[in-house]
Amino acid sequence: MTLAAQLYTIRDHTQTTDDFATSMKKISDIGYTTVQVSAIGGDIPHEDVKQICDDSGLKICNTHIAYDTLLNDIDAVIAQHELWDTKHVAIGSMPNEFRTDEAGYRKFAEIANGIGEKLADAGLTFSYHNHSFEFMRFNGTTGLDILYNETNPEFVQAEIDTYWIQHGGGDPIAWIDRMANRMPVVHLKDLVMMPGDDPWKPVQAMAEVGEGNLNWRGIIDACQRAKVEYYAVEQDICPGDPFESLAISYKNLVAMGLQ
């Protein structure tokens, strides 16, 4: 039950080598021992990323890799993950052109199977990170159902995001249970209701884990049943300092029994 910091949370602080090094020290000081590399500066050499993480006592558990890179330069992706001693590869979302109809989801599933098979041949896993748009329905079923029904679990695994499942009207616990033994990494973020312009229409917002309304005891139990390896804390939008948000989530999750 290893906690990881998803670096997308602090993307504004990881765009140069110096900022990346400073930020990794802050992440380590919070207590995290693992990170998911995502949205860092493209000019930071892979060797420097590895060295900085090593110097900060941080393991890289997984990544988010752009669709075009996975499709057109997969050998470089494999080499990058071998350098980082990282087994798990994920894609942050599907491109817009696949989202509009059932045929698009089926086409993306076909492509994802191919990418995942190549990564599996290299000893890596490939996971899909959901948002809420995948809960649009096509002929009585959701896009997310189509995606996972149409992909081979050996080649395409899940990176369930608790906030986005709830945001789309799904049940995070049910989806985690459904992805049992098919989900090496889960994304943890909370959902809270905030006042809107109309007092009768509050708005959904992201919150630090344990500061919102999700059923965390049930979610963690489901993750244990599903044999999740890494619990990645992510908060796309923070109310203030994103490092403080990561620290609040870390403290709350440790109090729930994770570490």
- Domains of the chain, with CATH numbers? 2-255 (3.20.20.150)
Span 79-103, mean pLDDT? 98
Span 172-200, mean pLDDT? 97
pLDDT digits (tens, 9 = 90+) for 94-105: 999 999 999 999
pLDDT digits (tens, 9 = 90+) for 147-158: 999 999 999 999
What pLDDT, on a 0 to 100 scale, did the predictor assign at position 223? 98
Span 61-67, mean pLDDT? 98
Residues 143 and 149 sit within 8 Å (Cβ to Cβ): no
Residues 246 and 234 sit within 8 Å (Cβ to Cβ): no
What pLDDT, on a 0 to 100 scale, did the predictor assign at position 209? 98
What pLDDT, on a 0 to 100 scale, did the predictor assign at position 1? 75
Span 74-91, mean pLDDT? 98
Compute the mean pLDDT over every residue in the chain, rounded to the nearest whole number.
97
Q: In this prediction, what percent of the chain has a pLDDT beyond 70?
A: 100
Nearest to 156 by CA among 122, 133, 129: 129
Instruction: Determine phi and psi for 119, rounding to 5 degrees.
Output: -70, -40
Span 105-127, mean pLDDT? 98
What pLDDT, on a 0 to 100 scale, did the predictor assign at position 213? 98
What pLDDT, on a 0 to 100 scale, did the predictor assign at position 85? 98
Instruction: Determine phi and psi for 50, rounding to 5 degrees.
Output: -60, -45
Span 131-144, mean pLDDT? 97
Alpha helices by DSSP H, listed for the chain, are 17-30, 46-55, 67-72, 74-84, 102-121, 143-149, 162-167, 172-178, 216-225, 242-255
pLDDT exceeds cutoff 90 at 259: no
Nearest to 164 by CA among 138, 197, 136, 141: 136
What pLDDT, on a 0 to 100 scale, did the predictor assign at position 80? 98
Nearest to 157 by CA among 113, 219, 210: 113
> What pLDDT band is residue 56 in, cutting at 50, 70 and 90?
very high
pLDDT digits (tens, 9 = 90+) for 30-52: 999 999 999 999 999 999 999 99
